[in-house]
Amino acid sequence: MDLVRQFTTKLSNELDKIPALRAFQVSTGIDKVYFVFAAATTLLLFVFFGFGAKLICNIVGFIYPAYTSFKAIESDTKADHVQWLTYWVVYACFNVIEVFSDILLAWIPLYYPLKLSFLFWLFMPSTKGAIFLYINLVAPFLKTNEACIDEALKQAMSCSGKVFLDISGMVRDVGRDVTKTVAMKIVENSIEVRSPKAADPITSI
């Protein structure tokens, strides 16, 4: 019981640093600790049953780290830069794997709760899971296949540039043909308007 009380007191002190929660407690009379517990429980239930779970995972995995990365860039602490650069590399690799195995992963029971826990594990300062995965999995794989990846990227960029030039040429040709056709129509209509109308045979008699 004492541990629970100590945890609640510590959490309350941390929540006091958030002005919005202080204002919420003053205006509603609801203890901010209870509100946070209720909100967290609601989110967990949504994730557990799959309602909005993907959105919540995206918020946790992308929006929060993006904002924290912004703060790290603005700071002078090199450790923050390394931590969040590492996170984004690992997160990108995870997204690639998830895209190609999304159909299979969706059938895993409690996939989104597991994914949410995994994302927290990646970027929490106390766990630094992204650094662990980078050192043990991502970096060795990328270093081993760096030459092949560079060559594939080079070919992809070359092909994409060629495709872009081909599409640009097609668009230019189509635009020229359309412009020519429209100009001819305008000239023809102008000639028809200026030419005198043929006399009505009944009127001429």
Last residue of a domain, one of 78, 99, 127: 127
Q: Do 121 and 114 meet the contact criterion of CB atoms below 8 Å apart?
A: no
DSSP 110: T
Residue at 3 is within a domain? no
Number of Cα atoms under 13 Å in the Cβ half of residue 186: 6
For 32, the domain range is 11-49
Residue (of 109, 111, 84) closest to 98 by Cα position: 111
What is the residue-level pLDDT of the chain in tens, covering all 205 positions?
677 777 788 778 777 777 777 888 888 888 888 888 888 787 777 767 666 777 888 888 888 888 888 888 888 777 778 888 999 999 999 988 888 877 777 677 778 888 888 998 998 877 889 999 999 999 998 889 888 888 888 887 777 666 666 666 666 666 666 666 766 766 666 666 565 554 455 544 4
* Overall number of domains in the chain: 3
Residue at 137 is within a domain? no
Same domain, 42 and 63: no
How many whole angstroms separate alpha carbon 21 and alpha carbon 61? 23
Whether the pTM exceeds 0.85: the reply is no
How many whole angstroms separate alpha carbon 90 and alpha carbon 121? 12
Q: What pLDDT shows up at residue 172?
A: 66
Q: What pLDDT shows up at residue 86?
A: 92
Same domain, 110 and 96: yes
Same domain, 123 and 81: yes
Q: What pLDDT shows up at residue 40?
A: 78
Residue at 132 is within a domain? no
Same domain, 68 and 112: yes
Q: What pLDDT shows up at residue 28?
A: 87
Q: What pLDDT shows up at residue 157?
A: 78
| Tokens describing residue 123 | 């970027």
Q: What pLDDT shows up at residue 90?
A: 93
